[in-house]
Structure 1
Amino acid sequence: MVREVGRLHNLVVAIDSPSDLPAVPEAECLLLFTAARELLLNVVKHAGVSEAYLRLACKPTAVTLTVGDSGCGTVSADTASADQHGFGLFSIRERAEPLGGSLAVDSSPGHGTRVTLTLPLAAAPTAREQPGNPGKGAQAVAQDSEQKSHTVSGRLRVLFVDDHQIVREFLVNLLKMETDIHVVGQCDNGSAAVESAGQLHPDVIIMDVNMPVMDGIEATRRIKERWPGIKVIGLSTLDDADGGSKMRAAGADGYVSKSAPPKELIEVIRQCCRAGGEDCRPTPRSRSRPDNVFGSH
């Protein structure tokens, strides 16, 4: 993720991370992922530099993430709030405090910014879910009796497909915060997605493009042939037209880059389910950025 953000935004990121990281509990792991992404994007948007550093340090009782730059400075955790681009420093701090963590900002004009997130380490789960575990095969990673029902209080039923566990869980947790969206299952490859589509009958499938066993393009083609009413939204780290054009050719209704603000994915899910999904593009924003979501066809 760090290298991908750097590549997409022409940001050189120096990474300092120990090779023997201890097991980190799920909630802390998701917050570290979120914070790293948001802090690097803040450098891109506000620092006015092309270089940054990311350091991850672990002690027996805590893990520390630091992201810094030598840019214009002046950032404050007390004044920075969530904006259209993501969570913001204030929101990261709000999510860290219930976990016993803290967020520190060292910033001054002309001397850059250093943001440090510290999280205490609790006992990690004894069994961590890993993509592609033996025995998973074409099985959905998560589904329960409620998820097998065909309607859940009128909410949009979403199946999420991505082979990267941290990315998948991060975005699924965001979707679970929306009152009109219900995540009915998760899969880690395209073959599992095809099988789960027939079992769970979701309204929308969020489909990663590049996955093992079967990629998202082939899975989308098979799903659209069998269940044309299911909306499919492509998801990829590739911030260009290639992934989008291939997904569109396979029958997908939309395409969102993983580098886009999380709220964009939520917006596209809703738009794809409106009146037959005539328009699966996010609402235009005032700032200029590449259009990485295509409309219906």
Structure 2
Amino acid sequence: MFDAVKQWFWYEWTLFIIRILVTFSTIITTVQFQNDLNLPLWLVLCWEISAFSIPWILLQVNTKAYAVPELILSGGVSVYLTSLFPEAYLTFLVPAALIAANNVEKTYRWTGPAAVLVVPLVMVQLSEPAKPFWEMMSQIGLAYAIGYAFNLLMVNYRQNEIIRSQNSVLEQYMSQVERVTLLEERNRLAKDLHDTMGHSYTSLIMGLETLRPDISTEEGEHKLEALLAVTRKSMGEVRDFLHGMGASEEMSSLRQALEQLAREFEASAGVTVSLRVLGEETALPQQAKMTFYRCLQEALTNAVRHGRAAEIQATLQFEPRQTRLEVRDNGEGSESLSEGFGLKAMKERAASLQGQVSVYSEKGVGTTVTCTLPRQAEPGGEVIRLLIADDQAFIRESLRTLLQGQKDMTVAGLAGDGEQAVELCAELEPDLVLMDLDMPNMDGTAATRTIKQKWPHVRVVILTTFQAPDKALEVLRSGADGYLLKSIEPKELAETIRLVHQGGTMIAQDLSTKLFGELGEAAKASGRGGATGTSGPAETAGRPETAAPAGEGYELTPREIEILRMLSKGLRYKSIASKLYLSDGTVRNYASTVYAKLGVRNREEAVEKAAETGLL
């Protein structure tokens, strides 16, 4: 209640002061004429104090319950005093105005007749000598009308405040959208230039180098050197330009960007926003920074616009395998959230980075938004020795040019077919082989099978042009550790090589969706299980011949299975949070995700379905 008083506006203080003045005036007058009372003075004073305090307290706690006590207590005091002193009907003028001023949800339909007609009628019946009814009714009615006009003024002021607040939030949101959109457009343009001009210059350099054996004259050599010099210089200029476009001081540090966003939003929206950072901040890709930035931006805006929140707490946590942003507010909350455009956009952004966004909301408690992104593989201390096998010399040279720029990679050799790849494996002992599928003499599938039989420790990643689920399944069964398309971005290719070298298995998203979809259909036909879900630009998967975990039929992650097991044991969210070293809101988000994936509504239904399907 006292928190509500702290947030009062000027009109609420005005009504409170008027209420105090009228109550003190009535008490003083009652004490002066105590000899004319037919009830004990202490009883009348308690009655008057109750008429002041009880309706006021109810007004702070539940406005709907205010009008009836006000009519009964204040009206009762006025009727009693009027029965002794006919002029005392004037003491009901202020309570009548207060009843009208605090009108909610059209209560004037019955409070008006009760205050203007019923109370004066009772006063006329009990007072002696009685004042004319029309005189009482007109004066009390005028007081009620003044109070109702004041109510309209308050409603208009509240609506204007809401509009001003919403406008400030929207203006701040628009400015942030404009800034981030410009930044994203710069990054997109840089990427497009990299994928077009950068690759074109690389191809031109490789093509010119291949002409060197065909030029025998000194003049031809001179022209070739001049062309190569101009081309390399132009490529250097393009790289400098791309570096200048891609680098942005605004997003150089995720922590600084989120802190700036929190400060600006706090100043414009008039709410308290706090940001706490846990763990040591690590470098994140620009796209990941953008995802966290947009997630916080959307969560702050929704908390004020829809949740009417006054305090928002954001926590950015850097963990060994993932980075998590949790935004909690003390708003109104909702038992059933509608997934709007902003929330869908946040989820799509996170999914594109193999992450997820979950929302937990409870009526009267608030809303918690959690965005989790996995940590991408980082360059290790050792240098990865690569062997590139492709029947097209231009592709081999281009891949070597792209990968030689990585500090932790070196291209040990190039092979033109599968047989040569096997021979070079014996000679060069590479750590990882980038293998094309369609090659003469020995294709990629046969070469992969041979390499894996002779050197099981050598990692093999298939890099092909087209999706071919049947060939992908065959080559994965032959022992390949990854299957990617040549359209993959250079940065993503480097990260995939690092991850596979560390023991992971990567399959392109589009291909994995088709591949495991077909496996799921085949498994259902044979009565042995369901399909495995995928997410993100590249999917980590096990060998096709290994048995799938129980949760994969419903796309449950190991962490979600763990949460489900604890829920089945009857543990509360706080107990689970303490056992897993997570926050209470994070556990609730995990539980909500489990319920959604299982198609249930609560813990009991989830445990029952888990028992029926054998998930536990």
User: So what's the TM-score if we normalise by structure 1?
Assistant: 0.48
Q: Which has the higher contact order (CA 8 A, sep 6+)?
A: 1
Relative to total residues, which structure has the larger strand share, 1 or 2? 1
Relative to total residues, which structure has the larger helix share, 1 or 2? 2
Q: Which has the larger radius of gyration?
A: 2
